[in-house]
Structure 1
Amino acid sequence: MSKTILISGASKGFGRAWAEAFLAKGYQVAATARNIDTLADLKAQYGDAILPLKLDVTSREDSFAVVEKVQKHFGNIDILINNAGYALHGAVEEASEQEARAQFETNFFGTLWLTQAVLPIMRNQKSGHIIQVSSILGIATLPIVGLYNASKFAVEGLTETLASEVKQFGINVTLVEPNGYITDIWGNDFKSKSIDAYDGIKKAIAEADNSDSFGKVSATVPAIIKLVEAENPPLRLFLGKVALPFAKQVYGQKLATWEEWADVSVAAHG
């Protein structure tokens, strides 16, 4: 029997590429987006194999309603991919309260609501796979996207905990952690009001930008297919060639600092 995949943020970027690949492989796909007109061509091509659903993931009520529709339509949900998200650009000091809350409402709470909605179904099935699209910036930070970094760090903590809780029910959990890719997440209009004091670091980052470090979205398709078809999927999966070296560098620095201050830490135990 064909697996049923529910994927959020399917209108563009990773979500669009992966939804199309799943359909081509013969999976049943429930694809959510704020504007489902963007999925009309896939509906025309794949018919009943795709169920486009309008969803603003920041609404817990709507997220639960969408999951209910998917279960009624396809009969089951085997895989959830929480992909919806965006990046707020700006220094930490520049973020307004509304911008900060909105970043977490989508990236963190949107992930939480859909996860909570599918869990009763997957527990009843005694099977399932929840895939959270995080980022290399969920384990190592870069300047000028501090709220995005923080939201992905939150997703990492939530998901690692979740994995330890639901393994007993036969549910697998994976954090997908891409490095930079050529998507509109980096060229969007979500920018905080600028403070002149941060112009220097913004300029330095712009001048250091290396397009060779950005991957191609289409190249992620074989990896995500392998992931959803794996019998024992990993808790974490990097996407791209930059992520692992960056993680090694950052965690090497963290370990060195912890070791340097180890005597102070132990003495603080009492």
Structure 2
Amino acid sequence: MTTTAAGRTPRTWFITGASRGLGRAFAEAALGAGDRVAAAARSTAALDELAAAHPGRVLPLTLDVTDREAVSRAVEAAVAHFGRLDVVVNNAGTLSMGMVEEFTEAEARAQMETNFFGALWVGQAVMPYLRAQGSGHIVQISSIGGLAGFPLSGLYAASKFALEGMSEALAMEAAQFGVKVSIVQPGGYWTDLYTAMKAATPLEAYAPLRAELEKMWAEGSVDSEPRLAAEALLKLVDSDEPPLRLLLGSMVYDLAFDVSRKRMETWAAWEGTSRAAEKAVAAPVGEAGAAAAEPAS
């Protein structure tokens, strides 16, 4: 097998949402490091140039991550083509904006289908291969929305909170097999996330809050180049002891500490109430008591 410029065996990456934005930057960085990439996207036309520039090292895969069976087939195709998987990046995601009350059931479910269930299906599909080889690194691309919810991004935040909760459990479950899991929380980057976003039908009752938010955002967004996120990702997967969470960007870094401090202050202020709500007692006896002693679902 060939080796990279650094003298190591090339890794095989499986990246979802690889045709544009952060996913494309991740793919280019992996290829620049001498690795191989199974690049999955809803449309692979944008990947033709990348494949031509790196013959034999790019496998374009047409994939809608909300289709569980299609995810399994794509992962199987990647393993059949390259022989193994080393880094799996769940990057595919969408953004739906709107106040929580404004979302229809279909809109709410669609947000969760890609951002949460898509990553879940990929994780379930790759774990048998990673377990068998006793190695691998799953990287979940979360967001600033995984730190806190904000007006207009409640359902997006919900999808990222769900992703992070699932990923924390997966990290502990996978560790015994030598498989690592990291959650990456990026701030703002110049991708098409906002231009491709969907919006719920606005309710007039929220017009004043929308106007207030528009004033706050009047100066526009100052985001970063996806290349910088890709450079950070390479450092993450190169680490022998990668963290469970990695913040990308000063804004999201500062926000993480601010949110954490406020939560700790609130917990401390309500400590008495919290502790008073628990007092261990012996398990009740009898048929009715046995039922009552069962943990709540």
TM over 0.5: yes
**Equivalent residues of 2:11, 2:36 under 8 A apart:** yes
| Structure 2 Cα separation of the partners of residues 189 and 144 of structure 1 | 12
| Structure 2 Cα separation of the partners of residues 213 and 41 of structure 1 | 29
5+ residue gaps, structure 1, are none
Is 1:85 paired with 2:93? yes
Is 1:116 paired with 2:92? no
Deviation at 1:211, TM superposition (A): 4.4
Q: Structure 1 runs of 4+ off > 3 angstroms?
A: 210-213
| 1:230-270 residue CA offsets vs partner (Å, 9 max, x unmatched) | 11111110111111211111121111111111111111113
| 1:28-68 residue CA offsets vs partner (Å, 9 max, x unmatched) | 10000000001111011112100000000001100001000
State the partner residue of 2:224.
215
| Count of residues in correspondence between the two structures | 270
Deviation at 1:179, TM superposition (A): 1.3
| 1:64-110 residue CA offsets vs partner (Å, 9 max, x unmatched) | 01000000000000110000001101000111100100110100000
Please, which moves more after superposition, 184-193 or 124-133?
184-193
Tell me which structure has the larger Cα radius of gyration.
2
State the partner residue of 1:266.
275
State the partner residue of 1:205.
213
| Structure 2 Cα separation of the partners of residues 148 and 85 of structure 1 | 10
Deviation at 1:138, TM superposition (A): 0.6
Q: Which of 143, 166, 170 is residue 174 of structure 2 equivalent to?
A: 166
5+ residue gaps, structure 2, are 1-8, 280-297
**One-letter code of the match for 1:232?**
E
| Structure 2 Cα separation of the partners of residues 207 and 140 of structure 1 | 21
Please, which moves more after superposition, 166-175 or 194-203?
194-203
**Equivalent residues of 1:82, 1:114 under 8 A apart:** yes
Q: Secondary structure at the match of 1:86?
A: coil
**Equivalent residues of 2:15, 2:23 under 8 A apart:** yes
Q: Which of 246, 254, 262 is residue 253 of structure 1 equivalent to?
A: 262
**Equivalent residues of 2:95, 2:197 under 8 A apart:** no
| Structure 1 Cα separation of the partners of residues 86 and 129 of structure 2 | 9
Q: Secondary structure at the match of 2:230?
A: helix
Instruction: Give the structure with the larger helix fraction.
Output: 1
Q: Secondary structure at the match of 1:132?
A: strand
Normalising by the residue count of structure 2, what TM-score does the alignment of the two structures yield? 0.88
| Structure 2 Cα separation of the partners of residues 86 and 9 of structure 1 | 10
Deviation at 1:155, TM superposition (A): 0.5
Is 1:241 paired with 2:250? yes
State the partner residue of 1:16.
24
Q: Secondary structure at the match of 2:160?
A: helix
| Structure 1 Cα separation of the partners of residues 75 and 102 of structure 2 | 36
State the partner residue of 1:56.
64
**One-letter code of the match for 1:41?**
E
**One-letter code of the match for 1:156?**
E
| Structure 2 Cα separation of the partners of residues 56 and 206 of structure 1 | 33
CA gap of 1:223–1:189, structure 2 versus 1, over 3 A, is closer
State the partner residue of 1:192.
200
**Equivalent residues of 2:94, 2:197 under 8 A apart:** no
Is 1:231 paired with 2:249? no
| 1:157-203 residue CA offsets vs partner (Å, 9 max, x unmatched) | 00011111111110111000001222221232411011111122222
Is 1:26 paired with 2:34? yes
CA gap of 1:92–1:153, structure 2 versus 1, over 3 A, is same
Q: Secondary structure at the match of 1:130?
A: strand
| 1:7-28 residue CA offsets vs partner (Å, 9 max, x unmatched) | 0001111001110121122111
| Structure 2 Cα separation of the partners of residues 166 and 133 of structure 1 | 18
Deviation at 1:213, TM superposition (A): 4.8
| Structure 2 Cα separation of the partners of residues 212 and 185 of structure 1 | 13
Please, which moves more after superposition, 222-231 or 94-103?
222-231
Normalising by the residue count of structure 1, what TM-score does the alignment of the two structures yield? 0.97
State the partner residue of 2:158.
150
